[in-house]
Structure 1
């Protein structure tokens, strides 16, 4: 198995990449948890808010629940977009620098 030497610049770039990935993951996960548990808490303690009629046959719970589902899709899309652009480019650059040495 070939050995790869890692200089301090590559190590710093890798550590920065790990830190950025952790920050993005924590922010997006926190947003999703706040949205989801906010919905659950309203459902548990203030269900009359979700029982408000929006139309003749529709209550507020349906569009709010749909918004929770859509927010999960949007946050996933944000992560995938970030990962496919900034993250993948940085990984490719770091691996390329390591292979050259």
Structure 2
């Protein structure tokens, strides 16, 4: 397991660029979410000030996507799998109807 403690402790050059604790935590959570999506076979847990923020247990890619992105994403997307020689591509693509307008 990997544990990161006091990530921004004693970093005076960086400290002036830090945002609020909530903003910095959100950035850290987003980074871990991306790794969690890339490695569904590995469990991830995020703790902040002694409290469990989020946790994803090791499992299948489909279950990890549902856990991280939500059941709505599963319902509004389609899985795909394609191989060409030594290359293989698997994933999920959101349906155009589910895209948020900007």
TM-score by length of 2: 0.28
Of the two structures, which has the highest relative contact order with CA contacts closer than 8 Å and spacing of 6 or more? 1
As a proportion of its length, which structure holds more strand? 2
As a proportion of its length, which structure holds more helix? 1
Bigger Cα Rg:
1
TM-score by length of 1: 0.28
